[in-house]
A = this chain, B = another copy of it.
Amino acid sequence: MRTTSDAFHLAIPVHDLDAAAHFYNELLGCKLARRYPDRITVDFFGDQLVCHLTEGPPPEKPESLYPRHFGVTFREAADFGALHALAVTRKIPFYCDVSTRFDGMIEEHRTFVLLDPSGNLLEFKHYLDPRMMY
């Protein structure tokens, strides 16, 4: 179990701050904490995500989920389902729709992956056995 008082923080590149604010705040429903000329900070499911403005065009759609992505592993299936419903209702682009991985093993979990406007991949997961969340 993690603490409630500390926060994970992740800094990622984005190529357009307005597009990032639209994606994370208006589509994904994260709260916008702060905006500076070169970055926005977001309360991403309780942790801190910082989107840094980066020069150049956004990358092509990534070729693989690996090795770099981030997201949330939900303890409750209902929270996983609610976020998937949000992504469908608000037409957020999926990189991969829901699938089951490690089928029949203790690590079995469902997962889906969203794509942000700068090509960052967001994976959301739910494990049958919550001890496997790590």
Contact = CB atoms under 8 A, between A and B. Distances in A.
Interface of A: 1-14, 25-26, 29, 31-35, 41-48, 52-54, 65-76, 79, 82-83, 85-86, 89-90, 104-107, 123, 125, 128-134
A107 B26 CA distance: 12
Contacts of A10: 8, 10, 69-70
Contact of A46 (B1, B26, B104): B1
Contacts of A123: 9, 11
A69 B11 contact: yes
- Count this chain's copies in the assembly: 8
A35 B21 CA distance: 12
A54 B64 CA distance: 12
Contact of A4 (B2, B25, B76): B2
Contacts of A131: 29, 82-83, 86
Contacts of A90: 106
A1 B12 contact: no
B73 A6 contact: yes
A134 B7 contact: yes
B34 A134 contact: yes
25 contacts: A1-B1, A1-B2, A2-B46, A3-B4, A5-B75, A5-B76, A6-B73, A7-B72, A8-B47, A9-B73, A11-B69, A12-B68, A13-B66, A13-B67, A14-B67, A26-B35, A29-B34, A29-B106, A31-B32, A31-B33, A31-B134, A52-B66, A52-B67, A54-B67, A82-B131
